[in-house]
Every structure is written in C-alpha cells, then in structure tokens.
Amino acid sequence: MKDPREIFKNAFYFGVGAVTVTAEKVEQAVDALIQKGEVGQSERAKLIDEFWEKAKEQEKEFTQKVKTIIEKSRQELQLSSRKEIDELSQRIEKLEKKLADYEKSSKKSTSPSSRSKTPKSTSKKSE
C-alpha cells in the first residue's frame, strides 16, 4: 500500500500540472472566441478572471467534499483524530503528575523520620 503522503503529493503535483494546462487552454479558448468575433479583445481579461473565480469556487467545494469523505472514513475505521489524541495525551500527563505527587507524599509519610515514635515496652517477665 502506498504511503498516504506520497498519494497526496502526487495529487498535488497533478493539480499543479492540470492548472497550468487549464490556464493555457482557457487563454487559447478565449483567443479563439476573439478571432471568431464572438467576444471583443477588451473582454479577454474579464473572461479569464471569471473562469478563475469559478475555478476557485469549485476548488473550495471539492476540498470540502474531500474533507467530508476523509472524516467519514476516519469515523468508519474508528481512527482517532489529532484533537482526540492530543486531549488524551494531556489527560495522561495530568494523571502522571498526580501519580508522581502521590508517590512522593507516600514516601514522605512512610519514611523512618516521619513515623511516630512509640516507646518500647521495657517490662520484664516475672521470674
């Protein structure tokens, strides 16, 4: 199975390549419309900008869908989120500190110097 980071890296590079090719294709398509006389040269920049605005909107929608799919998959696989792991780590740290404090206080109360001194019985048995 491929490393998920490698998959995302490849997808990112694919996306960059697709955007580059798409930008060139959009410019070519707009230039073709200008040559056919369907739009004026003054509208070139506006059409390209409109394309990029729509592309940004679609990217946001796509990103949200991917996040939803990933979250659903995480839940189905019963995987912990980073937030849940961090919260558990904090709880463990607090418990470890409490345990260490308890052990320190237990050692102090059981040390020879802290024990109460009771006189030993010095009575002799009857002879």
pLDDT digits (tens, 9 = 90+) for 53-88: 888 888 888 888 888 888 888 888 888 888 999 999
pLDDT digits (tens, 9 = 90+) for 96-116: 999 999 999 988 877 665 555
Share of the chain above pLDDT 90, in %: 17
Cut 0.85: pTM above it: no
* 16 vs 52: CA distance, rounded Å: 14
* 118 vs 87: CA distance, rounded Å: 49
Sequence-distant (6+) residues with CB within 8 A of 88 are 80
* DSSP letter, residue 115: S
User: What is the reported pLDDT for 21?
Assistant: 65
